[in-house]
Amino acid sequence: MEDLMADIKKTANKVRAKLKVIEQNIEQEEHTNKSSADLRIRKTQHSTLSRKFVEVMTEYNRTQTDYRERCKGRIQRQLEIIIRTSLIIMETQQAKQTLADIEARHADIIKLENSIRELHDMFMDMAMLVESQGEMIDRIEYHVEHAVDYVQTATQDTKKALKYQSKARRGELVDRIEYHVAQSQNCVETARVELKVAEGYQTKARKAFWRTEIKHRRYHVEKDTHHSVPGSSSSHFNYHPGSLVGIMRQQVVMIADSAANAATVTNAAADANLTC
């Protein structure tokens, strides 16, 4: 029992010394780098270890106290027995042996009380350490609670950002649609201008065609008049597709078809623009 108590006491002193060294190192680093995350983690770990050490030693002290009380009760009962029988067997060997046992137990109790006294001093030292760290633990809890609030706020802001992003994408799509509609309107206006130009060319081509055809007819009429044979029938105007008039007629027809196609495209573009 004594060896076990000595080992426990030795181990407890080593743990207390290491905790003090850690505390001193933390205090030194606190002057150079107060905002270090690693330093805050080490302080939290040191506080946790100190609390656990105090809890273990408290349980050990309670066990020692219970053992001391049981030993006192046993010695008290043995003393009562000796007092009752001392008048009868004062000189017997059993009485002497019982007295020796009582004295040994009394010595053990004295040693146990000394150990409890040393343990009490250790408790006072560790209690001061834990009390000094209590404020730091409260601050850690405070910051943890606020961190939870910040996380919740960040989550809400993220959801809002996603909504804004979706709306922004929709707005970008609308802008693209409006851009293409504007481009379509520009194309429609350009097509209308080209249609008017084509219609002007068509009108000019028709006028030129009829002027050329009239001149051509006059030319052939005058030629037939000078070279006509008496008694023959009056000549009539004919032209073949390879002649100048035939070529101009084909060009006029092509211009008219192009103008009609341009009008169709313009109407279709206008309908598409209205649909958008």
| Interval 198-214: pLDDT, tens | 666 667 666 666 666 67
Instruction: Say which residue, 135 or 163, is predicted with more confidence.
Output: 163
Closest CA to 200 of 249, 245, 258: 258
Residue 217 to residue 173: CA distance in whole angstroms: 64
| Interval 74-109: pLDDT, tens | 777 776 666 666 555 555 666 666 667 777 777 777
List the domain boundaries for the chain.
2-171, 172-225+236-275
pLDDT of residue 236 exceeding 50: no
Closest CA to 191 of 271, 261, 262: 262
Residue 274 to residue 276: CA distance in whole angstroms: 5
Architecture of domain 2-171: Up-down Bundle (1.20)
